[in-house]
Homo-oligomer: A and B are copies of this chain.
Amino acid sequence: MQKVDGRKARGEKKRRAIVEATLRVIERDGVAGVTHRSVAREAGVPTTAPTYYFATLDDLLIATLLWSAEELCDEMLKIVASGGSAREIAQSLAKAVNENRGRTLAEYELYLLAGRRPELKPAARRWLDLAVEVVRPADPVAFRAFLAAVDGLLMQGLIADVAPNEDELEPIVSFLIRGCDDFTPAPREE
């Protein structure tokens, strides 16, 4: 008979809390602001807790990227599921560069981190692969162009004097998804 060890359960919870705190630190101060101590302070745990749960600072960043990537995938799936019209997509993009600006910045910093750590690449581009998989676009070239533009619009939105809003983004999104059947997947052959 197996009983869940309360100690381990608590540990797992704290571990998650540390990862979440790390993401908040990145949102606020960037990857550069991540230190064992800053994370510990943010999470409200002792200084050595992050070291205890993650062998190295790198491991902590990696865990944070993996978790963030997972969340991003969930959000993307929601958009696709809801129909994926130009309006909805533009709305999501506008939110990412306005209300969720810090979060979006964090995501791209982790993105670039993957550029220097080959083992992180799969996680970083997970949402891309997943998008292709669930949408099964009729025109792969058009779809790849669309996905690239999404990244570009977000990045450029981050360095604009005033971030673009939904109405400004919509025509661009519309232009990009013409020929993509509004995300309607190609019929799968059985």
The yes or no answer to A96 lying at the interface (CB within 8 A) is: no
- How many copies the complex holds: the figure is 2
Q: Mark A105-123, 1 if CB is under 8 A from B, else 0.
A: 1001101101110000100
Q: Give complex CA distance A111, B155 in Å.
A: 8
Taking CB atoms and an 8 Å cut-off, the chain A residues in 109-156 that contact chain B are: 109, 111-112, 114-116, 121, 124-125, 128, 141-142, 144-145, 147-153, 155-156
Distance from A125 Cβ to chain B, minimum over Cβ atoms (Å) = 5
Within 8 A of B (CB), among A5-39: 30-32
Question: How far, in angstroms, from A125 to B149 measured CA to CA in the complex?
Answer: 16
Q: Does A171 contact B (CB under 8 A)?
A: yes
Query: Are the CB atoms of A172 and B112 closer together than 8 Å?
Result: no
Interface string of A156-179 (1 = CB under 8 A from B): 101111000000000110011000
- A141 with B111: in contact, given A121-B160, A151-B156, A152-B148 (CB under 8 Å)? no
By secondary structure, the A interface counts as helix
Inter-chain CA distance A31–B109, complex, in Å, is 11
Whether the Cβ atoms of B125 and A156 lie closer than 8 Å is yes
Asked if residues A125 and B160 are in contact (CB atoms below 8 Å), the reply is: yes
Q: In the complex, which residues of chain B have a beta carbon less than 8 angstroms from the beta carbon of A121? A: 159-161
The smallest C-beta distance from A164 to any residue of chain B, in angstroms, reads 10
Q: Which residues of A contact B (CB under 8 A)?
A: 30-32, 105, 108-109, 111-112, 114-116, 121, 124-125, 128, 141-142, 144-145, 147-153, 155-156, 158-161, 171-172, 175-176
